[in-house]
Amino acid sequence: MMEDSIHNSGDLGTARQTMLAIYKGFESLDAENLDSNFAHSPDLIAFGTDWDEKFVGWDQYKDVHKVQFGALRSFKFQTRELDVKINGETAWASDRPHWEIETKTGERVTEDVRITAVLKKTGSNWKVIQWHVSVGLGKRLHEY
């Protein structure tokens, strides 16, 4: 794996930039820019923070951000642990960012979330093919 990372250092930077562009899309409430970083494919799988937010294929997912952003006034997104790995034409990323969201009704939501993504290289670009966002429990259910 280390060998792939050394030989693909340009790809690693490009895959990381794709993740950061997604984050910037959230912050700017720019669904079109954000969505340009996702694979517009029937193979796309995305999970959001709500239980029923499972989307299979671009046709199910394509309007999600536009609808969500329509209800928001602001979205601050602070990456804290973005880690990206590459093996060939596949990259995977994980992060535990902090979100501060304000809705148009004035509700404020502050969360520490977890994000995982799988990216597929398409030409010279990296596109997210699997996306998962979750909110961790506030406390452990049991000790290990």
pLDDT at 1: 38
What distance in Å separates the CA atoms of residue 80 and residue 68, rounded to the nearest whole number? 23
Total domains in the fold of the chain: 1
Whether 144 is covered by a domain: the verdict is no
Whether 100 is covered by a domain: the verdict is yes
**For the chain, first and last CA: distance in Å?**
30
Q: Which domain holds residue 77?
A: 2-135
From first to last of the 144 residues of the chain, give the pLDDT tens digit.
334 443 456 788 899 999 999 999 999 999 999 999 999 999 999 999 888 899 999 999 999 999 999 999 999 999 999 999 999 999 999 999 999 999 999 999 999 999 999 999 999 999 999 999 998 877 766 777
Whether 141 is covered by a domain: the verdict is no
pTM: 0.87
